[in-house]
Amino acid sequence: VLKLPGAILAWLAFFCYCGAELTAGLWGSSYLVKAKGISADTAARWISLFYMGITLGRFLCGFLAVRFKNRSLVRLGLVICLAGCLLLLLPLPAAASMPGFVLFGLGCAPVFPGLLHETPVRFGREASQAMMGTQMAFGYIGSTILPPLFGLAASGGFISLFPWFLLLLTGGMILSSEGVDLRAVRRQ
């Protein structure tokens, strides 16, 4: 699978996605408490709304998949993730930036299932099992490495870099996902 055009970029997309989702869920409330100065109870509620955004988004994507292609849903999700990151980055009061977590969760919803569903189209049916397995492996590596990596930064007093970290991972998802579409031989 290493020789397949776009394989490395596909792995990077899963690495970034899983790392971003877990980092947002694990460190989002700490960011809201330490950088935005809100109470721990309120922060926990907003992070639960991040997960509610993912759940609601996946539910809605089930209906939208009838009318839109996976690639379009993934792109829409990544744009919404980007909007959520930008809302967190703006120097707004906490009450105005907290919805960025909901947007980020809503944007995450179509990315993982959409990228998996595109695997046979991007890489062919004969390579799709191996690609799916390796994509999942890189997703797990991202979710294992990236949240603790950000935790090191947070423990060093850099919790305010949280939205920048999510933005970096979202940018990685966008560039790698679009790069796969440019390099992979699309097969029907």
CB 166 within 8 A of CB 26: no
Q: pLDDT tens digits for 119-149? A: 999 898 999 999 999 999 999 999 999 999 9
Quick one: pLDDT band at residue 187, thresholds 50, 70, 90? low
Report the half-sphere exposure of 148 (CA within 13 A, side-chain side). 5
DSSP state of 161: G
For residue 188, pLDDT beyond 90 = no
**Which tokens in the block code for residue 31?**
């960011």
Residues 17 and 111: their CA atoms lie apart, in Å, by: 8
pTM: 0.93
Q: pLDDT tens digits for 38-77? A: 999 999 999 999 999 999 999 999 899 899 999 999 999 9
Q: Can you give the pLDDT at residue 186?
A: 59
